[in-house]
Amino acid sequence: MSGCPFGHTGDPGSNPAEAERRGESAGVERSGEPAAVVNSREASDGGAGAAAGTATKGMSRRGLLSLAGVGGAGAVAGLAAGFLAHDALTAGAAAADTSTGESVVPFFGDHQAGITTPAQDRLHMAAFDVTTEDRKELIKLLKDWTAAAEAMTTGNPTGRTGAVDGPYDAPPEDTGEALDLAAAKLTLTFGFGAGLFEKDGKPRFGLDGRRPEALIDLPHFPGDDLQPGRTGGDIVIQACADDPQVAVHAIRNLARIGFGKVRVRWSQLGFGRTSSTSRAQVTPRNLFGFKDGTNNLKVEDNTLLDEHVWVGSGPAGEQWMTGGSYLVARRIQMHIEIWDRTSLREQEGLIGRTKGAGAPLSGGDELPHPISPWPAVTAIP
């Protein structure tokens, strides 16, 4: 389940040329999970065919992925993308899936947009540290962000005067680089990290007892090499759009509105295949050349969404999370040069599917007909 592409990116943490020279290339994988503890792709996609029986000469698919973290690009952020509108910290919530070829995805709705919204092409995600300790300032910021997010997701500039209609002797309210661009299906999804609720053992912003029990720190994964500067954060904003300049403009202007109250901790650009230039609905391929996401939950299945994506009613302190979800973002380094020297047989054995059609090696098509229920996640890999 993924609201927008967190698939392949220029690796802002290293020089790509250097990465290629040392036999590595960077990719990013994102999974938005019902719980913040499991990477769906590892559990559901790599589980069945991959591990069992296929000769690996000391190499495993998980090794190719996870050991990549040794190179220094790993990062984990456990963040609650909750129902901002239902919280005391009033912000906006948005429709689940209302884009129908139009350029505007509504910001307000039963759920936040950008979670089950059909994946846009481009991503800019930023995590912020909240530097103020003033609850009123935080509330004001979230209200300002809500107004700006509503404006930008409808293709308008931020502020009352936008990019060019303000006082001539003041800096413009909006930075202007999206002036001639459409809304491009921009979605802005806001999430709260553990650090918003408490820091150094002390509750913040009067949010004592409001941190959801499910919002735990991720356990250590084999190969993890977490960099503190690219890990965690008090608030995350995921901007997805079909135009990268629209996504970048949104994060930039939200960061600008937050000046003095929040500080960008890390940010990440990303892209997937451009849906408008490929056959619609085809499962996208990752940098290993394999279809990736075959077993993802299908948006159409409301029962499974309620079970695995949307948070139901919880304890008293967590009512604000009802209808929200959890997000896990992981940067994963893919050793593509090693992969590129691996035989087709071994590649397919490691993935458990054919490279061309994406069908299970055990037979059949990529997608069963009708689509079978998504297997419940029963173990942390």
Binding its own copies by CB under 8 A: which of 285, 330, 331, 335?
285
The smaller minimum CB distance to its own copies, of residues 140 and 345, is found at 345
Shortest Cβ distance from residue 168 to its own copies (Å)? 5
Q: Which of 75, 33, 42 is nearest to 381 (CA)?
A: 42
d(CA 14, CA 23): 13
Q: What residues from 182 to 241 belong to the interface with its own copies (CB under 8 A)?
A: 182, 184, 229-230
Q: Which of 52, 170, 316, 379 binds its own copies (CB under 8 A)?
A: 170
| Residue 267 lies near its own copies (rule: CB under 8 A) | yes
Q: Tell me the C-alpha distance between 339 and 347, whole Å.
A: 8
Shortest Å, Cβ 308 to its own copies: 27
Instruction: Tell me if 152 sits within 8 A of 158, measured CB to CB.
Output: yes
Residue closer to its own copies by CB (options 210, 249) is: 249
Closest Cα to residue 190, out of 269, 285, 82?
82
φ/ψ region of 56 (left if φ > 0, alpha if ψ in -120 to 50, else beta) reads: alpha
Residue 101 burial (10 A CB sphere; 0-12, 13-18, 19+): exposed
Instruction: Kindly tell me which residue out of 62, 86, 143, 256 binds its own copies, with binding defined by CB under 8 A.
Output: 256
Q: Which two tokens stand for residue 4?
A: 């927008």
Among residues 172 and 381, whose Cβ is nearest to its own copies? 172
Q: Closest separation between CB of residue 183 and its own copies, Å?
A: 9
CA distance 294 to 7: 14
Residue from 13, 46, 114, 223 in contact with its own copies (CB under 8 A): 13
Q: 20 is written with which tokens?
A: 């290629």
Q: Which is nearer to its own copies, 256 or 298 (CB)?
A: 256
Q: How far apart are CA 49 and CA 265, in angstroms?
A: 38
Residue 171 CA to residue 306 CA, distance in Å, equals 45
Residue closer to its own copies (CB basis): 22 or 222: 22
Q: What would the two tokens of residue 151 be? A: 């404006």
Q: Is 260 left (phi over 0), alpha (psi -120 to 50) or beta?
A: left
The CA distance from 68 to 218, in Å, is 18
> Which residue lies nearer to its own copies by CB, 44 or 120?
120
Per rule CB under 8 A, is residue 102 in the interface with its own copies? Answer: no
For residues 115, 116, 121 and 124, what is the CA-based torsion angle, rounded to 10 degrees?
0
Of residues 139-168, those binding its own copies (CB under 8 A): 163-164, 166-168
Kindly state the smallest distance separating residue 228's Cβ from its own copies, in Å: 12
DSSP type of residue 180: T
Q: In what order do the strands lie in the sheet with 235-241?
A: 25-31, 325-334, 75-81, 187-193, 235-241, 122-130, 262-271
Is residue 263 a contact point for its own copies (CB under 8 A)?
yes
Beta-bridge partners for 80? 192, 326
176 binds its own copies, rule: CB under 8 A: yes
The CB-of-341 to its own copies minimum distance in angstroms stands at: 5
Instruction: Based on the shown chain and the rule CB under 8 A, indicate whether residue 60 belongs to the binding site for its own copies.
Output: no
Q: Which stretch binds its own copies (CB under 8 A): 30-38, 85-93, 146-154, 250-258?
A: 250-258
- 51 or 182: CB nearest its own copies: 182
Give the residue with the Cβ less far from its own copies, 163 or 304. Answer: 163
Tokens at 328, concatenated: 């896990």
# chain residues binding its own copies, by CB under 8 A? 83
The distance of closest approach from Cβ of residue 150 to its own copies in the complex, given in angstroms and rounded to an integer, is: 20
**From CA 58, how far away is CA 293, in angstroms rounded?**
26
Rounded to a whole number of angstroms, the minimum distance from the CB of residue 45 to its own copies is 16
Residue with smaller CB distance to its own copies, 329 or 377: 329
Contact residue for its own copies among 269, 311, 327, 332 (CB under 8 A): 269
Q: What is the DSSP secondary structure assignment for residue 132, as one 8-state letter? A: -
**339-368 binders of its own copies (CB under 8 A):** 340-345, 347, 354-356
Region binding its own copies by CB under 8 A among candidate stretches 47-55, 215-223, 278-286, 371-379: 278-286
Measured from the CB atom, is 41 or 111 closer to its own copies? Answer: 41
